[in-house]
Amino acid sequence: MVWASRGAGPVGEEEIRTLAEAVREESAERGLRLTTGHFTDGALDLTGEDGHRHIHLVDGDGVRELAHTHLGLPLAAGR
């Protein structure tokens, strides 16, 4: 299950918990949270806990790297 958003604001723990709940409800194996912004320390810490290790996070830098590596798109920060 994938949840993506665009914006500079941080993604916090509550959004990670919401994704984890949706993954469980849909019987999915993993969740992927993409954002062009960043994750709070709490969100990063949460995915290190046993009940949330199936949730993977990709922040703005990671999105730009994936777009460049796999799509050949030279995305700049803030665009």
pLDDT tens sequence across 14-64:
999 999 999 999 999 999 999 999 999 999 999 999 999 999 999 999 999
Buried b (16+ CB within 10 A) or exposed e, 27-63: eeeebbbbbbeebeeebeebbeeeebebbebbbbeeb
Phi and psi at 47, nearest 5°, equal -70, -10
Q: How far apart are the first and last CA of the chain?
A: 25
Q: Which domains does the chain have, with CATH numbers?
A: 2-71 (3.40.1340.10)
Please report, as a single letter, which amino acid is at residue 28.
A
8-19 tens-digit pLDDT: 899 999 999 999
pTM: 0.88
pLDDT at 79 over 60: no
The full length of the chain comes to 79
